[in-house]
Amino acid sequence: MLVVACTGARQGLEPEATAPAALRLIGTAAIAPGTEVLGTTFGGISGIDYDPAHDRWLLISDDRSALQPARIYTATLRYTATHLETPAITGTAPLRQASGAPYPAPRHAAPDVDVPDAEAVRWLPGGHTFLWTSEGDFARGFGPQWREHRADGAWVRELPLPTAFGRVPDFRRGPRANATLEGLALSPDGRTAWLAMETAWVQDGPRPTPEAPGGPLRITAMDVTTGRPLRQIAYVPDAVPHTRRIPWGPQLNGVSEVLADGPHHLLVLERSYSAGAGFSARLYRIDTRAGSDTLALDALDAQGAHSNHTAVPKALVADLDQLGAGPLDNLEGMAWGPPLAGGGRVIVFVSDDNFNPAQATQFIAVEYRGPAAVPSAMPAP
């Protein structure tokens, strides 16, 4: 099934006009909740990436259970143009601190050590080390982080973040707890990382509701070598697409992952959940050169004529509910995979089962058909 965006783009008028991108479902697979793998309970998968140098997939778990520490998994994942096999988990390793000790599980955490809430992961070119993000441990005084580790989980370094990304004692400014560095994209040359917040900072606007989109959230380009911020764009997430079906429980929508599509574009995954109605997801494409640079802005004012910035426009690639993959789970990761035999580009999505018996780790493979140039209209002779 081909899912395309209805963008309303002008056709045949400008050389840069494009036909919308589209997705075609390849297949789905799942690993049941509670599955024991290599001495661990598999689950909590919030990030995924593929290493072409060694033909292996990397999965990162955001498990913050009382007993299991933060960890990664390696896997093999095979597909054809019409079928996705269930991934085979080939290895696991704990993420380690600079001291060499694994990060602690919450029950055993010392006061001066954070318990990571891992959310996104990307191999650096060559597949020897990877970058990953943590949403932080606000309850224990730690803000979000991004770090580099080796393929065996060993520490390499922690990269700096601007002060504004940190925890504010009164929580009246800055990122909201459990809604910080949810997405991580790496430029094709590996030199620039894009760090995406899940929702707007407190001073930038509200969370989305079924009645209204959320305030603008920040997506920041960072120099991988130095950690220096390069540029920041504002992105407005949709309103929550479904109202909850029970009188209590969450209604939320935010960015759960970003993925580079060439040097100047990002694919942005918006994931929503409404109690009783379940999960939904939409994939958008943005041009990172569009919109204004918001790095120097303490607060993003989006009030009409008084707005102090221009948010980046977004083009809908697909509503994943319409893919034909069945009910969606909690999609939190996406990555490029090896191309199909005919050259088609492949994206693999993965879900975080939250170690909930009612969920599963869902894998969805799709063929991505990028936007195609539309010829300019030529005047009649």
pLDDT tens digits, one per residue of 48-63: 999 999 999 999 999 8
67, 105 Cβ separation under 8 angstroms: yes
**Under a CB-based contact definition with an 8 Å cutoff, are residues 376 and 14 in contact?**
yes
Task: Kindly state the helix (H) or strand (E) to which residue 194 belongs, with its residue range.
Answer: strand 192-197
**3-class secondary-structure state, position 108:** helix
| pLDDT tens-digit readout, 94-109 | 999 999 999 988 777 8
Mean pLDDT value across the chain: 91
Residue ranges, the chain, pLDDT below 50: 1-16, 376-381
Q: Are 337 and 347 in contact (CB under 8 A)?
A: yes
Instruction: Tell which phi-psi region holds residue 109, choosing left (phi > 0), alpha (psi between -120 and 50) or beta.
Output: beta
Q: What is the DSSP string of 309-348?
A: S-PPP-EEEEEGGGSSS-S---EEEEEEEPPPTT--EEEE
Residue-level pLDDT at 198? 98
CA–CA gap between residue 19 and residue 107 (Å, rounded) = 52
What is the per-residue pLDDT for 141?
86
Instruction: Specify whether the CB–CB gap between 337 and 49 falls below 8 A.
Output: no
CA–CA separation, 241 and 252 (whole Å) = 9
Residue 108 is which amino acid? H
